């Protein structure tokens, strides 16, 4: 029996999704999702801030480095790619939720639970075949706070989701 490697990062589990940071792998229901390095980085930024809205600009900063230019859709394109691949591997789950005009929130939700909870779900088929499920319509308040249905949501800490070396690209 060997000694555990102190440098080894733990496997993260959300619903039926398993994220293995040391292997740059994600498995949904035991099936490899097949993410590229950049797609994996986007997934990690969101997963590390589970149940928190992460601004598109913060995702861009942590994955691509630098300031996101106005009208740059890189984050949206890569989120769509991750969603498509997750939906193929785990069609009964949804993980990434859009907060219009702000960013994205990571939360593992089984589709049966989503419907049972009575949440308003707008299902749209994306070009890749993944189901895009919108949980709420949010906006940014006058002072930059995230507002949903009249309530303030905890603001994500800027640039703190990727503290580990080698994940910024």
Do 86 and 95 touch, CB atoms closer than 8 A? yes
**Which has more pLDDT, 20 or 132?**
20
- Per-residue pLDDT, 130: 40
Where does 12-153 sit in CATH, by number?
A: 1.10.10.10
pLDDT of residue 80: 97
Structure tokens at 19: 């994220």
Q: Tokens 């709420």 appear where? A: 136
Say what the pLDDT of residue 161 is: 41
Residue 83, Cβ density class (10 Å: 0-12 exposed, 13-18 middle, ≥19 buried): buried
Residues 51 and 139: their CA atoms lie apart, in Å, by 17
Residue 78 pLDDT greater than 90, yes or no:
yes
What radius of gyration, in Å, describes the C-alpha atoms of the chain? 16
pLDDT tens, position by position, 110-132: 987 655 444 433 333 333 344 43
Are 12 and 47 in contact by the 8 Å Cβ rule? The answer is: yes
Determine the pLDDT at residue 129.
Answer: 40
Q: Any idea how long the chain is?
A: 169
**Taking the model in full, what pTM does it have?**
0.65
Residue 67, pLDDT score = 84
The DSSP-derived string for 116-137 is HTT---EEEE-TTS-EEEE---
Domain ranges of the chain: 12-153
């Amino acid at each position: 029996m060997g000694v555990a490697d102190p440098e080894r990062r733990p496997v993260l589990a959300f619903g039926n999704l398993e994220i293995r940071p040391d292997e740059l792998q994600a498995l949904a229901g035991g099936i490899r999702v097949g993410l590229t390095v950049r797609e994996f980085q986007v997934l990690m930024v969101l997963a590390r801030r589970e149940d928190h809205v992460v601004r598109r600009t913060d995702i861009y900063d942590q994955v691509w480095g630098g300031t996101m230019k106005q009208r740059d859709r890189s984050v949206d394109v890569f989120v769509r790619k991750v969603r498509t691949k997750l939906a193929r591997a785990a069609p009964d789950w949804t993980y990434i939720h859009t907060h219009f005009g702000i960013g994205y929130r990571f939360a593992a939700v089984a589709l049966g639970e989503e419907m049972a909870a009575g949440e308003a779900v707008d299902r749209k088929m994306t070009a890749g075949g993944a189901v895009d499920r919108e949980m709420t319509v949010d906006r940014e308040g006058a002072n930059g706070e995230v507002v949903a249905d009249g309530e303030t949501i905890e603001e994500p800490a800027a640039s703190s989701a990727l503290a580990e070396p080698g994940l910024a690209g």
